[in-house]
Amino acid sequence: NLYTVQLTENGSMTFDLPEGRHSWIQLVNGAVEVNGVEMTSADGLAVSNESQLNFIGKQSSELLIFDLD
């Protein structure tokens, strides 16, 4: 599955990741914090062994969430 997300500056959202699933986060533009990890434009982040992803917009941002097996 692929999700497109737009966050405003200081906006936040939560993404639940079912057990056994993995995720790839690709930041298209802006700056966000994901579970305490700072990301800036064009950064990617591999995620495993997490049940929830917490996003905070540090700037207006657009990102992609790839929900993987």
- Could you report the per-residue pLDDT of 7-64, keeping only the tens digit for each? 999 999 999 999 999 999 999 999 999 999 999 999 999 999 999 999 999 999 999 9
- Residue 39 has what DSSP assignment? E
How many other C-beta atoms are found inside a 10 Å radius of the C-beta of residue 65?
21
CA separation, residue 56 to residues 14, 20, 29, 35, 50 (Å):
9, 24, 14, 9, 17
Model-level pTM greater than 0.75?
yes
Angle CA 45–65–27, to nearest 5 = 55
Lay out the sheet containing 12-16: strands in order across. Answer: 12-16, 52-57, 31-34, 37-40
